[in-house]
């Protein structure tokens, strides 16, 4: 087997500028896409649990389409098909300090929209895990829907949401390799460009696999810390009973 340990060690220990650029771009796209997916998924989850049947059908249709079609097809369709049909084109955005190319915008949007379908179900499960009696008790105390969601529901729902949400970000890191098909120079495309010069495919793809393994391992430590923080057994007491007690005392003093 013609394996060069020297090339493997060199690119692993002292990565080229193309690798470093691809690494930062992979992390940036992953973080941006998961934020888009979380925000959009939250609103889809609210539609999913809405008492309105038409809104429920809209949310279910979105989830059905995004989960039932390949992510690679969604990326290509969003970036290429829309532009070919002259429906929407991604133009480069100049922020003065840096320029955000259109293909990176399409990558973040496509990954975020796909992730939103899964995040919607994760958030819906978290919201459903909160006892319905707490909703009724909060409304009886005169809480608004926004205050109820922020102070009572979300703190308890996060115990259910955080673990699968962390897994979704882990998947997102690896899904960034798919955006290489639209010319985004993340780690995958950076590796392809380097191998086209030195033709050391096996060594460089092994380096690529180790880089992704390091990224997902580092995120695993962060995820365990988040799960330990939001999974504390007294979370419902500190966020729920304390607020109920304060609101009840106010009502009793007003009598």
Counted domains in the chain:
1
Residue-wise pLDDT for 236-250, tens only, equals 444 444 554 454 445
pTM of the model: 0.83
Residue-wise pLDDT for 162-171, tens only, equals 999 999 999 9
Write a three-state SS string for 65-130: HHHHCCHHHHHHHHHHHHHHCCCCCCCCEECCCCEECHHHHHHHHHHHHHHHHHHHHHHHHHHHCC
Task: Establish if 99 belongs to a structural domain.
Answer: yes
Task: Specify the CATH number for the domain of residue 56.
Answer: 1.10.3720.10
Task: Establish if 152 belongs to a structural domain.
Answer: yes
Task: Establish if 19 belongs to a structural domain.
Answer: no
Specify the DSSP element, H or E, that contains 33.
helix 17-48
Residue-wise pLDDT for 152-195, tens only, equals 888 888 888 999 999 999 999 999 999 999 999 999 999 999 88
The pLDDT value given to residue 65: 96
CB neighbours of 89 closer than 8 A, spacing ≥ 6? 82, 83, 102
Domain that holds residue 77: 26-253
């Amino acid at each position: 087997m013609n394996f060069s340990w020297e090339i493997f060690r060199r690119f692993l220990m002292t990565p080229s500028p193309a690798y470093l650029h691809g690494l930062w771009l992979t992390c940036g796209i992953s973080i941006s896409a998961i934020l888009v997916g979380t925000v959009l998924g939250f609103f889809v989850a609210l539609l999913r649990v809405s008492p309105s049947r038409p809104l429920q059908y809209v949310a279910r249709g979105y989830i059905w389409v995004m989960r039932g079609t390949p992510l690679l097809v969604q990326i290509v369709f969003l970036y290429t098909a829309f532009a070919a049909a002259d429906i929407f084109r991604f133009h480069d955005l100049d922020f003065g300090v840096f320029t955000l190319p259109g293909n990176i915008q399409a990558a973040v949007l496509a990954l975020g929209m796909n992730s939103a379908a899964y995040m919607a179900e994760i958030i819906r499960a978290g919201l459903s895990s909160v006892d319905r009696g707490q909703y009724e008790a909060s409304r009886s105390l005169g809480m608004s829907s926004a205050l109820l969601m922020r102070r009572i529901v979300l703190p308890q729902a996060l115990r259910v949401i955080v673990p699968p949400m962390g897994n979704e970000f882990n998947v997102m890191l690896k899904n960034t390799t798919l955006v290489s098909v639209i010319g985004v120079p993340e780690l995958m495309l950076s590796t392809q460009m380097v191998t086209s010069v030195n033709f050391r495919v096996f060594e460089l793809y092994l380096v690529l696999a180790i880089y992704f393994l390091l990224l997902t391992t580092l995120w695993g430590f962060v995820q365990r810390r988040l799960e330990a923080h939001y999974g504390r057994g007294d979370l419902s007491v500190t966020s729920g009973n304390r607020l109920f007690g304060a609101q009840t005392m106010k009502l009793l003093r007003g009598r």
